[in-house]
Amino acid sequence: MQPTQFSSGDVIADRRADYARMLAESGDPAAAAELMEQALELAPAWAAGWLRLGEYREKAGLGAEAAEALRQVLALDPEDIFGAGLKLALLGATETPDKPPSRYVEALFDDYADRFEQALVERLDYSVPGKLAALVRKARGEGGPFDCAIDLGCGTGLFGVEIRSTVRRLEGFDLSANMLAKAGEKGIYDHLARSDLSLDAEGSELFAEGLARGRADLVAAADVLMYLGDLTNAFSLAAELACPGALFAFSVEDAGTPDGFHLAPSLRYAHSEAYVRAALAAAGFEIREIERTTIRMDGGKPVFGILFVAIRAR
């Protein structure tokens, strides 16, 4: 039997892993790690088991040993569906990557799709879609409806709902097929397709047959860019989608630093205002509106973000 995230394929190993989990939950990560090591002796090809071992070791203050377990995860799963490379970076065991693995982000949101809206809106007080839509309306003024709006990383369509009444055509793109299915259920998009914002335009679904460059007078990325570190490619794609004078509206988590971006313990990236400004200018955008705000709660604490609306200047 092939090991999966939930089972090693070995009954005894699974039993030991369950006991290890209970020990970790009771506040004894060192004992949990020891028992998890025994489980992995029986199922050495279980990538998710090595991930758990890394987590237990880290909680036990065994940073070097945790990194060793995470490297084993990567050896067993080169596509890194568990984000082990990000965790290694947080441990200081490797350089911070410019972006997370696409398979990690895809799997994260495929798994999250069914409970996404309830978790964000009802429990985490998520407010980006409404706030960003209001900022777009402020920047638009009396300009009338948008001919074509493109919702990058559309998720389940929360931002689409906010702007549907002010656009003639609404397109949505997301890496997760399950999130796209949820967005489709809303019946508000004229076109939905899978697309990876970390990749360049060549062969992208953003520019598939019949979808021209420069077709949008509004491009949006609500609560998406925190899953990218380096924003150069995402801003380049937005520039290729936008016609001259188009608006580009998006949010980032606020790094709270003078420059650059960093990977947070949440495994999301936070960006400084200075970094975003420089990246926008390089892509041919000029800022029209900017707003600092709380974008959601996390662990009972506010997560601070920055909302931007820029205009395609060239």
Mean predicted lDDT score pLDDT of the chain:
93
pLDDT of residue 201 exceeding 80: no
- Give CA torsion, residues 292, 296, 302, 306, to 10 deg: -20
Q: Is 215 a member of any domain?
A: yes
Instruction: Please give the C-alpha separations between residue 150 and each of 72, 154, 173, in angstroms, as whole numbers.
Output: 40, 9, 8
Q: Is 5 a member of any domain?
A: no
Q: Do 119 and 54 sit in the same domain of this protein?
A: no
Q: Do 172 and 241 sit in the same domain of this protein?
A: yes
The residue that leads in pLDDT, 300 or 128, is 128
Q: Give the H/E segment covering residue 40.
A: helix 29-42
- CATH number of the domain enclosing 306: 3.40.50.150
Q: Do 123 and 251 sit in the same domain of this protein?
A: yes
Q: Do 90 and 118 sit in the same domain of this protein?
A: no
Task: Name every residue whose Cβ is closer than 8 Å to that of residue 237 and which is 6 or more positions away in sequence.
Answer: 152, 197, 200, 201, 204, 206
Q: Do 69 and 150 sit in the same domain of this protein?
A: no
Query: Over the stretch 18-30, which tens digit does the pLDDT of each residue have?
Result: 999 999 999 999 9
Query: Over the stretch 47-62, which tens digit does the pLDDT of each residue have?
Result: 999 999 999 999 999 9
Q: Do 114 and 194 sit in the same domain of this protein?
A: yes
- What per-residue confidence (pLDDT) applies to 314? 66
- CATH number of the domain enclosing 24: 1.25.40.10
Give the residue numbers spanning the domain of 284.
109-312
pLDDT of residue 1 exceeding 60: no
Q: Do 295 and 194 sit in the same domain of this protein?
A: yes
Mean pLDDT across 207-227: 93
pLDDT of residue 2 exceeding 60: no
What tokens appear for 8 in the block? 């090693």
Q: Do 124 and 33 sit in the same domain of this protein?
A: no
Rounded to a whole number of angstroms, the CA Rg of the chain reads: 21
Q: Do 129 and 263 sit in the same domain of this protein?
A: yes
Q: Is 4 a member of any domain?
A: no
- What per-residue confidence (pLDDT) applies to 286? 97
Q: Is 45 a member of any domain?
A: yes
Please say whether the dihedral angle defined by the alpha carbons of residues 62, 65, 68 and 69, taken in this order, is positive or negative: negative
**Structural domain tally of the chain?**
2
Mean pLDDT across 273-290: 97
Q: Is the pTM of this model over 0.85?
A: yes
Q: Do 89 and 113 sit in the same domain of this protein?
A: no
Q: Do 115 and 215 sit in the same domain of this protein?
A: yes
- What per-residue confidence (pLDDT) applies to 21? 95
Q: What is the DSSP string of 182-245?
A: HHHHTT--SEEEE--TTS-STT-GGG-TT--TT-EEEEEETT-GGG-S--HHHHHHHHHHEEEE
Q: Do 132 and 254 sit in the same domain of this protein?
A: yes
